[in-house]
Amino acid sequence: MAKALGIGGVFFKCEDPKKLTAWYEKWLGVPVDPEGYVSFKPATIPPGGYTVWGPFKKATKYFDPSDKPFMINLTVDDLEGALAQVAEGGAEVVGEIEEGEYGRFGWFMDPEGNKVELWMPMGSVSRES
């Protein structure tokens, strides 16, 4: 039997792909390639980090306040620093930072209304700013 080995990509529609990609590059340092895509290499994933594929019930409130049927999760090396950067870039930080057995989480709404969850895995060490 053939098996899925991991997440090969996350693709979504937006009003202005170039503008939104440039925003993520500026405010979260995402590595944008010449075609305008972002590729995270395994070497950049911190200890304790991994990729999750997680279907939610249609009625979930977890993606609120976004009205989109998806939420993006990005692994970060400095949760407070990343939230401050995106806020400086015009994003709306939503909710409070939460800590759990998997690490620390924070959320924001990007310029196109997508809810993004930032995750600093358990065992990751925040870099000094």
Q: Render pLDDT for 9-41 as a digit per residue (tens, 0 to 9).
A: 788 899 999 999 999 999 999 988 888 888 887
- 108 close to 86: Cβ distance less than 8 angstroms: yes
Number of domains in the chain: 1
pLDDT grade for 128, boundaries at 50, 70 and 90: very low
pLDDT exceeds cutoff 80 at 78: yes
pLDDT exceeds cutoff 90 at 127: no
Other beta carbons within 10 Å of 62:
12
pTM for this entry: 0.84
71 part of a folded domain: yes
Top-confidence residue, 35 or 62: 62
105 part of a folded domain: yes
32 part of a folded domain: no
- 89 close to 69: Cβ distance less than 8 angstroms: no
- 112 close to 14: Cβ distance less than 8 angstroms: yes
39 part of a folded domain: no
42 part of a folded domain: no
> Which residue range is the domain that position 93 belongs to?
57-121
Instruction: Name the one residue in this structure whose structure tokens are 């000094």.
Output: 128
What CATH number has the domain bearing residue 61? 3.10.180.10
pLDDT exceeds cutoff 70 at 83: yes
What is the overall mean pLDDT for the chain? 88
- 76 close to 82: Cβ distance less than 8 angstroms: yes
Under the phi-then-psi rule, with left for phi > 0, alpha for psi from -120 to 50, and beta for the rest, what region is 89? alpha
Return the pLDDT at 109. 97
